[in-house]
Amino acid sequence: MRELKFRGLVEQTENRKRYWVYYGVGSKPALIGARWLVEDCQYTGLLDKNKTEIYDGDLINIVEDGEPIIQIINWHDGGFFRTDAYGADIHVEGYEAMCHYKVIGNIHENPELLGKEQ
């Protein structure tokens, strides 16, 4: 059974510095002098090839047929999926596939990796 934990992107009110806050079920911290930009990105329970935890909204680099492809990790319909550039979802089956992938960023801080402006 995977560990249920989350992360959220926070911005400090005074200096606009951004950082990730990690928390478990029922332990989301109250913020003082900061605000949530993104909340409740769920941990998949999986690690990439560098042992980096993979969360909802992460961008992963995949090599298929010798070509690098960027996909988004999404949580919906009770499971995690890899979403490609065409919007097709591929169910994430577990470690056997993810150990070949690499987290390269996330949709909240790195939209340029998808060819999108912030």
The number of domains in the chain is 1
Q: What is the pLDDT of residues 3-42, one digit of tens each?
A: 799 999 999 999 999 999 999 998 999 999 999 999 999 9
The structure's pTM equals 0.85
> Burial of 27 by CB count in 10 Å (0-12 exposed, 13-18 middle, 19+ buried)?
exposed
pLDDT band at 117 (very low <50, low <70, confident <90, very high): low
CATH code, domain with 48: 2.30.30.290
**Residues 53 and 43 sit within 8 Å (Cβ to Cβ):** yes
Quick check: 55 and 73 in contact, CB under 8 A? yes
- For residue 74, the enclosing domain spans 5-114
Type and span of the H or E element at 83: strand 79-83
CA-based end-to-end distance of the chain: 36
| 6, 53 Cβ separation under 8 angstroms | no
